[in-house]
Structure 1
Amino acid sequence: MSALVPTRTLGPGGPEVPVFALGSWNSWDRMTPEGAVALVRRAAEVGAAFFDVAYYNMGPHAENARTDILFGEAVRTAGLRREDYLLCGKLWLWEYPAQSFADQMDVSLERIGVESADLVVVGDYFGEVDVQRIVTDVAAEIGKGRFASWGVNNWAIGDVWAALDFADAEGLTPPTFAQLKYGLVRRTMAEGSYYGELFDSGRLALQASDVFEGGILAGRLTPSRKIGADVGGIREAIVAAYPEVERIAASVDATPTQLGLAFALSHPATANVLFGVSRLAQLEDNLGALALLDRVGAEAIRAQTADLWLDRTINPDGTWTP
């Protein structure tokens, strides 16, 4: 595919980013060094050099993974300069503030081998958090030049509003995007009342993640690796829905992965879609989603996949609404 990946703005005041972003969880550590270098180079060639890279060492992700280190090695071997790609880091809240944002950034940047990121995602927590402290500490890292913008990952909607209001009141940098589970089968968080108002008003952009449900919606119905949480306990229903995903994809001359990506991009608030690939062929296939979206159109894709929405009655905490 010779055409460059288009860009969209990652929320008000956020950066211009390619609509595709490559994740690091269970990706770079599943490739050969040569395969990782080839993937990095190809992503840069097509304009998709946006890499979400985290150090997985806290909470349920205390895995001692080396995926971030391997990414840094691949980028350097591929010959990419720091200005040739966008780097999105992650700040975890599970052990915060005992593990400060400053300490987390020190470790993460050193492991990757860079001096700064472009943006970060702050996310994943259980229970209550000190939103004002989070916004203030994020602003301190921005002031140091560690990154320029930030987003939230799976925050309770009340905390998002609190962060926006506090940042506005104090003249601090607000979050500009939300990284949420969003795709053919999980839509409620983004399209329901939780984040819908913020997306509709343009206060936040959407970064869609976990689009393929850990590979299930790409045809790997029994994933062998660790995958994301099954909010609401609908994974069996998702596996059962895969034949319908295949059928719809075939009807529009596309692969299931292309259909899933095109759907995620069809949401007006979607700035980009975060996915993991461990082979160059997967990236090439994913690029075909752009042609599918152009050929079929967002409205038609949403109409044909409307019945795949499986979490209509699930609340963000995993409980069901009657």
Structure 2
Amino acid sequence: MDYTHLGRTGTSVSRIVLGTMNFGDRTTEEDAFAIMDRAHELGVNFFDTANGYGGAGGRGATEEIIGRWFAARPGVRDDIVLATKVHSPMVDPTSDGDVVNARGASAWQVRREAIGSLRRLQTDRIDLYQFHHIDRHISWPELWQSMEVLVARGEVVYAGSSNFAAWNIAQANEIAQQRHFLGLVSEQSLYNLVQRSIELEVIPAALNYGLGILPWSPLAGGLLSGGSSDAKARSAAAAVKSKRDELRDQLDAYDAFARERGWTPASLGLAWLLHQPGVTGPIIGPRTVEQLDTAVAALDIELSAEDLRALDELFPGPGGQAPEAYAW
């Protein structure tokens, strides 16, 4: 396994991040345990989840599965850099429960959900607590005050963001600096060969402020997975099927490019991300141990400058960072 620092911190994390969104939904608890066991065996030490994950199992079900895995394996918790998120409403809006404040990132909600995540995960700390989306109704002084309390209590180590614009990152860290607080150390963004818009501003901002980029949907919802079963399952979704039809020629050329070099398309898609500036590691969401092994194989792929140029021609990005990408 290859490791790198999480953004500007001194904490080392694996360059493959185990995403757990399928646990409790498309992946049974037994299979989830097998995937986490294999990840741990391979040296994957960075696990990512969220309070709202669980799908058919219900919100919070994914964190509960991870918590039971920790409980069944004493001593493993300190091997893992554990990341979760806060933002999603955790109460069914149609129920009679208290739902008025149970969403977003107010200090009330952040504290409440940190307690809930710690309980579900059966742990004493969240290593990376991430704002799942920007909450435009909450000020940064309020957000940082809630995080400062959690850090002081030892319940959170680092703060991160997800789906933030570049100016959100800049504002957050400028205000954190004024408060003598570390601020954001990572940003989870949609990033893959098909969707490269974060190269315009988010990646330059992350590099400037020392945030590690954690790409989600690194294989574009299965578009870059070639003929894998996961790709076939996801292609049933109308949006993905439409995109697959739209990009058929590019995807066929991409698959051929990978196979001519003895790589799987899925491994190539992850390897490309690992060669991009600022990327700590792509977040993979394996449903099986085999898919996990395919993802880890990306670490063995060394792309030449010629390979990278060829992939840029197949899937052109925005042309670099703003404003040079569109102005003189």
Q: Same fold (TM over 0.5)?
A: yes
Shift of the 14–185 alpha-carbon distance from structure 1 to 2, 3 Å rule, reads farther
Task: Establish whether residue 18 from structure 1 lines up as the match of residue 14 from structure 2.
Answer: yes
Task: Establish whether residue 172 from structure 1 lines up as the match of residue 178 from structure 2.
Answer: no
Distance across 1 between alignment mates of 2:183 and 2:236? 35
Instruction: After TM superposition, give the deviation of residue 74 of structure 1 in Å.
Output: 2.8
Structure-2 residue corresponding to 1:211: 218
% identity of equivalent residues:
23
Mapping for residues 60-99 of structure 1, pairs under 5 Å: 64=59, 66-79=61-74, 81-92=76-87, 94-97=103-106
Shift of the 196–57 alpha-carbon distance from structure 1 to 2, 3 Å rule, reads closer
Q: Which range moves more in the overlay, 132-141 or 196-205?
A: 196-205
Structure-1 residue corresponding to 2:133: 124
Contact in 1 for aligned 2:158/2:185 (Cα 8 Å): yes
Match of 1:305 among 308, 311, 320: 311
Deviations 1:124-147 (A, max 9, x none): 146454223212222221111112
Deviations 1:208-233 (A, max 9, x none): 11111222321425617889x99xx9
Deviations 1:47-89 (A, max 9, x none): 102111212179x999535222122223333555211211101
TM-score w.r.t. length of structure 1: 0.83
Shift of the 286–115 alpha-carbon distance from structure 1 to 2, 3 Å rule, reads same
What letter matches 1:302 in structure 2? L
Distance across 2 between alignment mates of 1:202 and 1:246? 36
TM-score w.r.t. length of structure 2: 0.81
What letter matches 1:84 in structure 2? D
- Structure 2: tracts of 5 or more residues without a match: 89-102, 320-325
Match of 2:45 among 49, 65, 73: 49
Task: Establish whether residue 281 from structure 1 lines up as the match of residue 281 from structure 2.
Answer: no
Instruction: After TM superposition, give the deviation of residue 237 of structure 1 in Å.
Output: 3.5
Contact in 1 for aligned 2:225/2:265 (Cα 8 Å): yes
Structure-1 residue corresponding to 2:3: 7
Shift of the 126–89 alpha-carbon distance from structure 1 to 2, 3 Å rule, reads closer
Structure-1 residue corresponding to 2:163: 154
Instruction: After TM superposition, give the deviation of residue 280 of structure 1 in Å.
Output: 0.4
What letter matches 2:126 in structure 1? A
Contact in 2 for aligned 1:54/1:68 (Cα 8 Å): yes
Shift of the 300–278 alpha-carbon distance from structure 1 to 2, 3 Å rule, reads same
Structure with max Cα Rg: 2
Contact in 1 for aligned 2:53/2:63 (Cα 8 Å): no
Q: Which range moves more in the overlay, 211-220 or 47-56?
A: 211-220
Distance across 1 between alignment mates of 2:27 and 2:36? 12
Contact in 2 for aligned 1:121/1:153 (Cα 8 Å): yes
- For residue 89 of structure 1, give the secondary structure of its aligned residue in structure 2: strand
Match of 1:223 among 219, 228, 234: 234
Aligned residues: 304
Shift of the 27–216 alpha-carbon distance from structure 1 to 2, 3 Å rule, reads farther
